[in-house]
Amino acid sequence: MESGSAFPSLSPLALYDPFTGMQFSQKHCFLCGTPTVPGQDAVPVFAEWLMTRYNLHERQIKLLDMSIVRYEELQIACCPQCRTRHVEPLEVRVQQAAAQGLAGLRELDEQTLFLWLGKMFYGVLVTELLNELMPLARPQYPLAENAQLFRRFQAFFQPFQALRVPMEYDDFVPGSVFLLETDLREDTLPFFYDDDLSTLTFSIKLDEAVLVACLVDNGIIRQAMRRVYDDAQRPLHPAQVAEFKARVYYGAYLLNVVPDYYPRAVHPGDTTLVMDTLIDDVTGAVFNPWENSGYAQSLLEMWKPWQIPLTQILADPAQPLSLLYDADGQPRQLDHFQGPQTENEKES
């Protein structure tokens, strides 16, 4: 049944639930569920302005099932109303901010960044999910069977609906969003993106600005990393940014709680939906215990471009290699990365 009458349009403050009927497809608007025409009613995962600015249209991206798609093929089903009223205005705001570089992005409010990153994350995740539902796909990781991922995704989707519904988060931020600056002297990548779908972490680089986010932690990781983030408020060598990302991604991996969200009852005349949250951490720790061996794997992955071997990362098993801090725990200035062999000898 896909007649229009089966999907009366949602009232402006009503939330949409695509999970009950698993309504993820190219046939329903991702924000309101209205039937859409596949191939016609869609928005790109990576906005047109972004693809143009970084020549991404033809660039390829490898999905978890090892299939290859072009950036321009990544699309989210979106009805004309949500596209023109919600998605495009968001993209215009971020485009204008990004045109001013890092300073412009810093001016954006927390919710805008969360929604913008969230939209791309959503698009990539759903592409993976749909791909998996295709009978010919041979997924390496059965996402649909990952109950933890689904709980997180479902939680994320509540505050994410602020993209369509005017929404106020009562005294919380839904995710941890970090904005870093790279030192352009040894920075060769104008654009870069990566994600960890299972933990809802996402990172995107726009020239000297690097955004890193965990989209479903109610800001817990940012709180835990407050000192590291404060110390990172300076132009960082890209290898230092990679270390910062390793900390966020590993922190998200250790995160042991999923927030619950509760929309408050809407009364006649209300123009905003107020969202409350609760984290049930009574039953256990917020984070699973930190293991240097696990963190070292995260570093190894992020430092691949600099080819730093695990033996060097774990030369001191009690203190994995850091490029952000020196041996005394002081923020380290790294102007030039000399490569894995000489790195130990060089302290600047």
Cβ nearer to Zn ion, comparing 7 with 192: 7
Q: Which is nearer to Zn ion, 43 or 79 (CB)?
A: 79
Q: Which CB sits closer to Zn ion, 52 or 84?
A: 84
CB of 83 to Zn ion, least distance (A): 8
Can you name the residues that pair with 61 across neighbouring β-strands?
Answer: 69
Smallest distance from Zn ion to CB 344, Å: 55
Instruction: Please list the residues that pair with 210 across neighbouring strands.
Output: 180, 205
- Residues 52 to 81 in contact with Zn ion, rule: CB under 5 A: 79
16, 24, 31, 296: residue in contact with Zn ion (rule CB under 5 A): 31
Supply the minimum distance, in Å, between the C-beta of residue 248 and Zn ion: 32
Nearer to Zn ion, 82 or 246 (CB): 82
| Neighbour tally for 141: CB within 10 Å | 14
Nearest distance from C-beta of residue 163 to Zn ion, angstroms: 10
* Cβ distance to Zn ion smaller for residue 32 or 51: 32
> Nearest 10 degrees: CA dihedral of 238, 241, 247, 251?
-120
With contact defined as beta carbons under 8 Å apart, do 167 and 223 qualify? Answer: no
Q: Which is nearer to Zn ion, 31 or 255 (CB)?
A: 31
Cα–Cα–Cα angle for 313, 214, 64, nearest 5°? 75
Q: Which stretch binds Zn ion (CB under 5 A): 27-35, 186-194, 255-263, 317-325?
A: 27-35
Residues paired with 169 in a beta bridge: 275
| Nearest distance in Å: CB 264, Zn ion | 23
Instruction: Quote the least distance from Cβ 77 to Zn ion, whole Å.
Output: 9
Task: Note whether 29 binds Zn ion by CB under 5 A.
Answer: yes
**Judged by CB, which is closer to Zn ion: 29, or 102?**
29
Residue carrying the six token digits 């490569």: 339
DSSP 260-308: EEEEPPP-TT--SEEEEEE---SSS-SBPPP-HHHHHHHHHHHTGGGT-
How far apart are CB 23 and Zn ion at their closest, in Å?
A: 12
- Considering only residues 76 to 115 of the shown chain, the ones binding Zn ion according to CB under 5 A are 79, 82
Which value, in Å, is the radius of gyration of the alpha carbons in the chain? 21
Q: Mark the segment that binds Zn ion (CB under 5 A) among 31-39, 101-109, 152-160, 219-227.
A: 31-39
> In angstroms, what is the minimal distance from the CB of 81 to Zn ion?
6
The amino acid at residue 230 is: D
Three-state DSSP class for 177?
A: strand
DSSP 8-state class, residue 84: I
Count of residues near Zn ion by CB under 5 A: 6
Segment contacting Zn ion by CB under 5 A, of 5-13, 26-34, 121-129, 227-235: 26-34
Stretch that binds Zn ion, among 21-29, 111-119, 287-295, 339-347 (CB under 5 A): 21-29
Question: Minimum CB separation from Zn ion for residue 159, in Å?
Answer: 18
Residue placing its CB nearer to Zn ion in the complex, 206 or 273: 273
- As a whole number of angstroms, the distance between CA 179 and CA 82 comes to 28
CB distance 179 to 94 below 8 Å: no
Angle at CA 293, nearest 5°, toward 146 and 145? 5
Query: Which residues inside 296-335 make contact with Zn ion, applying CB under 5 A?
Result: none
**To which residue do tokens 């759903």 refer?**
126
Write the burial class of residue 42 (CB in 10 Å: 0-12 exposed, 13-18 middle, 19+ buried).
buried
Q: For Zn ion, which is the closer residue by CB, 79 or 220?
A: 79
The stretch among 22-30, 39-47, 64-72, 184-192 that binds Zn ion (CB under 5 A) is: 22-30
Strand-pair partners of 195: 202
H or E segment to which residue 41 belongs: none
Residues interacting with Zn ion, by CB under 5 A? 29, 31-32, 34, 79, 82
